[in-house]
Amino acid sequence: MDHLVSASLLTADFGNLHKEVIMINRSEADWLHLDIMDGVFVPNISFGFPVIKAVKKIAAKPLDVHLMIIDPDRFLNMFSEAGANNLTVQYEVCTHLHRTVTEIRNLGMKAGVAINPHTPVSLLKNILPSIDMVLIMTVNPGFGGQFFIKESYSKISELRKMIDSGGYDVLIEVDGGIDTLNAVKLVESGVNVLVAGSSVFSSADPEKTISRLKKLI
């Protein structure tokens, strides 16, 4: 399949959120990415259910929601009701990961598992048959605008081999420092979904930047 682009709202202008979402609607982005932070798992707080529900009302693209929170099981149903299409949880906080991703799927959402830069992809071997996507964090989570960790390429290649050898229908998503300079190599390494925030919203023409990420030019 062709790669997807998930435009992240984390670095958007929250004073003009409606305008930013409408821009993403017009763009060639495939998904709209929302990072949910609790100030505990990561040293930052982003936004909660009222914002997600407001975005859902105007978004024409599926909501790709990444939970950077502890004890996500308490809120799975609420994220489903708020309009999440994809729901990704952090491997590092889920004591009973299989139970969590099974519940996400039972609620009608695609289930994803994210890993931090220090977490090896080998730990995902037994969960791959039960999920739809792996999100490899290519920066330390918590803030936008960080530099891409180059060691991520080897993790992506290793995960790609694991997925292909097992015959799993699992997407590889990457988030952190993604731009038009590294997008081609990332897709060539096996990435299916590029999450881009700062490179989009800090550019002079966000729609054009999304188009370049989509077309790899």
Q: Is 133 exposed, middle or buried (0-12, 13-18, 19+ CB in 10 A)?
A: buried
Q: Is 50 exposed, middle or buried (0-12, 13-18, 19+ CB in 10 A)?
A: exposed
CA dihedral (135, 37, 20, 136) in degrees, to 10, reads -10
User: Hunting for tokens 């990457």 — which residue is that?
Assistant: 174
User: Hunting for tokens 């988030």 — which residue is that?
Assistant: 175
**In whole angstroms, what is the distance from residue 128 CA to residue 136 CA?**
14
Residues assigned a catalytic role = 35, 175
**In whole angstroms, what is the distance from residue 179 CA to residue 213 CA?**
7
The CB-based long-range contact list for 145-151 (8 Å cut-off, 24+ gap) reads 145/11, 145/198, 145/202, 146/176, 146/177, 147/177, 148/176, 148/177, 148/178, 148/179, 148/182, 149/117, 149/176, 149/177, 151/117
